[in-house]
Amino acid sequence: MRIIYVSAIAIVAFLASCNSNSGGRGELTGVSVKTYKQEVPFGMVYIPSGSFIMGQVDQDVTISQFAQNKQVSISAFYMDDTEITNGEYKQFVNWVRDSIAITRLGSKADKFYIKPRTDGKKPSSASNKKIIDWRRVNANKGIWNDKTLTDQLNRDMYYQGSEKFYNKKELKVEQLRFNYEWVDYRKAANYRGMRDPNTNKNGMQITRDSFIVKDEVFIYPDTLVWISDFTYAQNDPMTKGYFSHPSYINYPVVGVNWKQARAFTQWRSRVNESYKIRVRQPARLPYDLPTEAQFEYAARGGKSQTTYPWGGPYIRNAKGCLLANFKPGRGNYADDGGAFTVYAKAYFPNDFGLYNMAGNVAEWTSSIYDDAASTYVNTLNPSFDKAVKESDKDYNKRRVVKGGSWKDVGYFLQNSARSYEFPDSARSSIGFRCVLPFVGRDVKDRPSNFKR
């Protein structure tokens, strides 16, 4: 009887706790969570939702024979206020470099991993793998100043023997490869609604790993683009110093192909998620490259059917000064203030606070290039995108490039202008910036910090 009595008390206590979680009176109150403060990510600006006419303006006769414009709506999102700079991309390179170094150090690097908790609880991680503690890695000016590790790091991570040039200490960049995973939601959606969710149309068993794509990308920028992009031109100094010299730290990174740009977004998402887990806060949704529609909408800065991010229709201001970095006069590179790229915050921003949405460097988008895409993409958050296989034809792999660059003529500065490049191609005129989905209720005048 005593056992039954104790069991009855336990059951009542359990039911009482359930009622407590539901308001104590059996009502549906939802799961209680801590107040979540959403704030504009550092280096980004808030782009409110809205509708715009996507494509060439009505008076643009030169391209009127192609696909016509289309009114579309875009959900709110955040966008980097500048192109990703050399300094920001170096943070990615250094992270990959240090990760490889710690792995190669073996047991000598045990002090750089998160230590198991002594209270028996698992560390705040979704994996049983060893997790690098980046606070320890970066302490005391980083692991590269740890004298106990210097000899092995120099031997494992730098060029040796005949690969040395004038006996300089230079990082072996060929080893900088980033492994990441992503979920192909579009492929997963093809199996939605089947009678047996684990079986496809051919009777084959489908598991979750069927939609998880794993990739490995070499992430160091191609510095030789300054030579390969030009015939009979003396751009060797840019090859030698553009990514490495501190004078260019705040200039847009170039020589990054589409695959590398996308790998950067995956890394940026992981870094944020790791930090949020450590401080017990909800992680942001993943970063990504902007779609073609997002880029054009953001470039217009809230203006409807304008030619350029600053409005237009002119490319000079009232004083005759050029308003972007491009190739005026089909060869007068320096007339706009820069013979090559310029500082990422050069020129005035548009009305959304975005710099160089036209000129400086053209930018990768996530959208696949198709001349007729505007005729069949959705009017809500339009984008033509799909998972591309290595076996696909190169023609189907092309990605949309927007914004025009320092080496393009003025036509490509137009908000509606679009070009393309193959995803494994790097250029001295193409960079990128990231976007981040906005979550929650959208209002036009959202403050920088708010609660919901």
The reply to whether 96 falls in a domain is no
Separate counts of helices (H) and strands (E) for the chain: 9, 13
Query: What does pLDDT average to over the chain?
Result: 85
Cβ atoms within 10 A of the Cβ of 108, count?
A: 14
Residue 391's SS3 state is coil
The reply to whether 120 falls in a domain is no
Environment class of 389 (CB within 10 Å of its CB; exposed 0-12, middle 13-18, buried 19+): exposed
Cα-Cα-Cα-Cα torsion 366, 95, 430, 273, nearest 10 degrees, comes to 30
Cα gap 78→70, rounded to integer Å: 23
The reply to whether 201 falls in a domain is no
Provide the 8-state DSSP code for 388.
P
pLDDT attached to residue 209: 83
Identity of the amino acid at 132: I
User: Helix 86-105 to helix 150-157 angle, to the nearest 10 degrees?
Assistant: 110
User: Is a pLDDT exceeding 80 seen at residue 373?
Assistant: yes
* pLDDT interval class at 63 (50, 70, 90): low
Tokens in use for 216? 């490995």
Q: What is the CATH number of the domain that holds 407?
A: 3.90.1580.10
C-alpha dihedral sign at 224, 229, 230, 231 = positive
> Could you tell me what percent of the chain has a pLDDT over 70?
83
Place of tokens 């209680």: 32
Average pLDDT over every residue of 199-203: 61
Shared domain for 11 and 52, answered yes or no, is no
pLDDT attached to residue 66: 57
CA atoms within 13 A on the CB side of 132: 18
The separation between the first and the last C-alpha atoms of the chain, rounded to the nearest angstrom, is: 51
Residue 101 host element (H or E): helix 86-105
The reply to whether 229 falls in a domain is no
Cα gap 200→370, rounded to integer Å: 30
Shared domain for 307 and 272, answered yes or no, is yes
Shared domain for 28 and 51, answered yes or no, is no
User: Is a pLDDT exceeding 90 seen at residue 355?
Assistant: yes
User: Is a pLDDT exceeding 80 seen at residue 298?
Assistant: yes
Would you say 46 and 438 are in contact if contact means Cβ atoms under 8 Å apart? yes
Shared domain for 317 and 368, answered yes or no, is yes
pLDDT attached to residue 446: 54
Would you say 256 and 431 are in contact if contact means Cβ atoms under 8 Å apart? yes
pLDDT attached to residue 407: 94
More confident residue, 241 or 141: 241
pLDDT attached to residue 58: 58
The reply to whether 200 falls in a domain is no
pLDDT tens column, 64-123: 555 578 899 999 999 999 999 999 999 999 999 999 999 999 989 888 988 765 555 555
Place of tokens 């020129």: 347
Cα gap 221→229, rounded to integer Å: 14
The reply to whether 402 falls in a domain is yes
* Bridge partners, residue 261, by sequence: none
Tokens in use for 342? 């310029």
- What domain range is 287 assigned to? 45-83+251-452
Q: What is the distance of C-alpha 316 from the center of its chain? A: 32
Task: Confirm whether pTM is higher than 0.85.
Answer: yes
pLDDT tens column, 398-440: 999 999 999 999 999 999 999 999 999 999 999 999 999 998 7
Shared domain for 19 and 50, answered yes or no, is no
Q: Which residues contact residue 106 at a Cβ distance below 8 angstroms, ignoring those fewer than 6 apart? A: none
Shared domain for 64 and 28, answered yes or no, is no
Q: What is the distance of C-alpha 374 from the center of its chain? A: 24
Would you say 398 and 420 are in contact if contact means Cβ atoms under 8 Å apart? yes
Cα gap 242→193, rounded to integer Å: 52
The reply to whether 16 falls in a domain is yes
Structurally, the chain folds into a number of domains equal to 2
The reply to whether 234 falls in a domain is no
Tokens in use for 276? 């949020």
Residue 100's SS3 state is helix
Cα gap 361→427, rounded to integer Å: 10
Shared domain for 296 and 358, answered yes or no, is yes
Average pLDDT over every residue of 208-213: 84
Identity of the amino acid at 378: N
DSSP-assigned letters across all residues of 238-302: HHHHTTTSGGGTTSBP-S--HHHHHHHHHHHHHHHHHHHHHTT-PPPPPPBPPPHHHHHHHHHTT
Beta strand 362-368 with 399-402: parallel, antiparallel or unpaired? antiparallel
Would you say 184 and 213 are in contact if contact means Cβ atoms under 8 Å apart? yes
pLDDT attached to residue 313: 85
Shared domain for 63 and 16, answered yes or no, is no
Left, alpha or beta for 96 (phi > 0: left; psi -120 to 50: alpha)?
A: alpha
pLDDT attached to residue 122: 53
Shared domain for 292 and 258, answered yes or no, is yes
Shared domain for 54 and 75, answered yes or no, is yes
Q: What is the distance of C-alpha 437 from the center of its chain? A: 11
User: Is a pLDDT exceeding 90 seen at residue 146?
Assistant: no
Nearest Cα to Cα of residue 352 among 310, 290, 291, 398: 310
> How far from 188 is each of 180, 193, 198, 208, 383, CA to CA, in Å?
19, 11, 11, 9, 18
User: Is a pLDDT exceeding 70 seen at residue 124?
Assistant: no
